[in-house]
Amino acid sequence: METAATTQLGIEGMTCAACVTRVERALRRVPGVEDATVNLATETAQVRWAQTPGDDVQLRRAVRAAGYIPRDTASLPEAGSPWEGFWPVGLGLLLSAPLFLPMLGDVVGRHWMLPALWQFLLATPVQFGLGARFYRGTWHAITSGSAGMDVLVALGTTAGWALSTWLWWRAAPGEHVALYFEGSAVVITLVLLGKWLEARAKVQTTAAIRALQALRPERAHVITALGEADVPVAELMVNDRLSVRPGERMPADGRVLEGSTQVDESMLTGESLPVAKQAGALVTGGSVNGEGRVVIEVTAVGAESVLSRIIRLVEDAQAAKAPIQRLVDQVSAVFVPVVLVLSVLTGLAWGWWGADVPTALIHAVAVMVIACPCALGLATPVAIMAGTGVAAQRGILIRDAQALEIAHQVDTVVFDKTGTLTQGRPRLVHYQALAGELAPNVGLTLAASLLSGSEHPLARAVLDPARAQALVLQEALEVVAVAGRGTQGLVAGRRLVMGSLSWMQSLHQAAGMTSVADAPHAPGHTPNALGADAPQDWVLAAQQAMSQGHTVSLLAEQLPEGLRVLALLAFADEPKPEAVHAIEALRARGLQVRMMSGDNAGAAHSMGRRLGLHEHEVLAPVLPADKAAQVARLRAQGHVVAFVGDGINDAPALAAADVGMAMANPDGGTEVAMNTAGITLMRGDVRLVADALEVSDRTVRKIRQNLFWAFAYNAAGIPLAALGYLSPLVAGAAMALSSVSVMANALLLRRWRGTSTDIR
């Protein structure tokens, strides 16, 4: 995620990995810059400042001084006409065709060779007009002490053009000499064609971001004292009340105040079916309203909206470098100088073997032309762009390239239980008074009052039945939530604590207690569901409830003489319908699965059995603070661990894992999830975990394929060119096709659709 000390800048004019190195070097020289990372495929730079952000004007000047054009990163390449930007290529093809066709004529025994003057007149505009960009790039490369594709193309084609001009100039009148104008012109044209095809491919790789940006509506219907008024979405403010009609997109993040509807969130979460929304439900800007008119209250606008955060996540992931790319950059930095040396050695070797100067020079030119590092520079970033883009369309947000690269190595997946493998909506299934004078409605009122300000799932499970019974809640004062244990506070003058059995036992040991063994039951209190006769000891009651797979909380009062346990509340949760299938899919991939829970061991193991987990695969009870230690223990055993949690109370474990996967919470907390882990699952479908690992596998596979072919192409092409088996014309075609093939191979990732399907 982009921080306050990070600046992103767009850059035009880069052609290869050497350009990336040159721009990074220039940006790092700017005072105050700690580091700079440039991505060739997205044509962006991420600059990290040492402290506070500096003036981006200095960055723009540094980019321009290096020979490139700075631009606003907000502008993405548009999917306009398929032939947009083709005119230089078309002109080059038109001028080069008469030079190239005589070569085809020689194959069929026809001699269509143009006079030397016509060859000169056709080749020169291509060389110095259409090829001017290569000369500009070469000049900036020389002045900055580096070299890249521009240098190779400019030197190689200029050598061919100059040799042809010199041979023509020194030839006697009427003498037939072999000229190489067609090689120089066709090479430049083919390189331009390759760059145009790359640009078209880049438009496709950024399709995911453009699709997300297109979700923003332009206007919203604001409800004012005078009625509805249409205003630009950019002018909305938090707490504005908006009317959203059927079929319209939600203008901003908000909460439903009036009405009910079905909302299509597929472009944001990948969920194919509409989601029901009623009063109090949260809606996300960009989602499509269904059949009902609703009134919403704006909760977030602009850069703080969920849609804006999603777009930033995808942009940052696509602009970042994978660890493997840094190795490629190191190779590319020395690649061009090595190629220039090999080219000179090739020419000298051919001369030493007795070849004439034109022949030796042509073979040297072929080496320069074929050994372009374009494919090396594009191999990794285009695969990452395609992979993160298609993942975003499936509701999987990959925050950084490192998480994407590491995810394919995962061998152990650890799930948080509540809200991840289970519905996360526990129900109060049993209430038992342990103090005789405490009637059920009194105990429920005290518990609900104490928890009225909490967002914990168990708190909602207490508050829902309290509201259903229209109980009048008391104000809770001095409320303190103890992570993984419970809550304490002051209600109606009584100092109450509510939490787990282990916490009550620790409080009892610390302060002593008042026994309730002989306390009579409240009038009318009947035997409870835990047995025919209610147990008199609160520890025994809690243990018996936990043995039935329930999550237990005890309500107690802290008195001067000790702790007095008042009531037992037992909760039950349900597994998600797709959870068993998700675990089976992970096992089918050869992965180990663990479930970690803060619940008591009985409840956790009971749920584990329902999910098909073995006893050793359930880790419980584990406090939130100890989850990170459990993850670290698995990593110390040599496992590559992915932790899946809700991104709110699992932050330490998400950070401790090799790959953290935060599952967005439908009841809120999506923003927290997106800021916590390397990968965010935008809907509560656990099968997205396997999908996230699969898209990582496919992306890393494409990166390796691209790098293999890029290196193999150069490893085979340079010796063939040096030995005279490739002409400059063929070398130019092969160079252009290598970059295009890398782009095309990466774009195959866009065909991936994932494996998760709705279970209804």
Query: Bridge-partner residues for 227, per DSSP?
Result: 224
| DSSP 8-state class, residue 128 | I
Give the pair of three-digit tokens for residue 140: 């900036």
Catalytic-residue membership of 416: yes
At 271, the amino acid letter reads: E
- Catalytic: which of 400, 416, 573, 646? 416
Say if strands 253-258 and 261-264 run parallel, antiparallel, or are unpaired: unpaired
Burial class of residue 523, CB neighbours in 10 A (0-12, 13-18, 19+):
exposed
Question: Rg of the Cα trace of the chain?
Answer: 34
* DSSP E strands, 225-327: 227-232, 241-244, 253-258, 261-264, 275-277, 282-283, 288-289, 294-300
CA atoms within 13 A on the CB side of 644: 33
Query: Bridge-partner residues for 565, per DSSP?
Result: 556
Question: Which ranges of 206-321 does DSSP label H, i.e. alpha helix?
Answer: 207-213, 266-269, 306-319
361 vs 5, 180, 351, CA distance in Å? 51, 11, 9
* DSSP E strands, 58-213: 69-71
The Cα–Cα gap between 302 and 295 comes to: 20
The Cα–Cα gap between 755 and 584 comes to: 13
Please answer whether residues 478 and 490 qualify as being in contact, where contact means their C-beta atoms are separated by less than 8 angstroms.
yes
Please answer whether residues 166 and 181 qualify as being in contact, where contact means their C-beta atoms are separated by less than 8 angstroms.
no
Query: Bridge-partner residues for 242, per DSSP?
Result: 222, 296
480 vs 132, 322, 450, 493, 497, CA distance in Å? 70, 43, 10, 16, 9
17 vs 14, 24, 237, 334, 367, CA distance in Å? 8, 11, 44, 10, 18
- Encode 231-261: b = buried (16+ Cβ within 10 Å), e = exposed: bebeebeeebbbbbeeebbbbbbbebeebeb
The Cα–Cα gap between 300 and 237 comes to: 8
Burial class of residue 130, CB neighbours in 10 A (0-12, 13-18, 19+):
buried
Please answer whether residues 56 and 7 qualify as being in contact, where contact means their C-beta atoms are separated by less than 8 angstroms.
yes
| Residues noted as catalytic | 416
